[in-house]
Amino acid sequence: MADTPLFKSEAQIITALSLRTENRRLEEHCRNLVSRRDHLLAVNARLTLPLSLTQPATQVLTSIYKNTIKVTIQ
């Protein structure tokens, strides 16, 4: 009875539906991995910037802080 065309068709439909569900899950997982990769590439790019690019801003803030202290002490 299990070899009748009706049961074969039903089994094929169930298999196709489970494959579609698995495919959607894998697509979502791939999207998440791509998103994580893009984020890590952005973080890596920021980390490869030399400190000299951020140093002038730090020097300006330090200078402002020191001048503020001098003004308040006087």
* Total number of domains constituting the chain: 1
The enclosing H or E element of 42 equals: helix 5-47
Distance CA 37, CA 41 (A): 6
- pTM comes to 0.55
Q: Give the pLDDT confidence score for residue 53 in this predicted structure.
A: 59
Contact 1, 7 (CB under 8 A): yes
The label of the residue with tokens 């202290």 reads 69
pLDDT tens-digit series, residues 23-43: 999 999 999 999 999 999 999
Quote the domain boundaries for residue 29: 5-73
Distance CA 47, CA 51 (A): 9
Please list the pLDDT of the chain residue by residue as tens digits (74 residues): 456 776 788 999 999 999 999 999 999 999 999 999 999 999 999 888 877 655 555 666 666 666 655 544 44
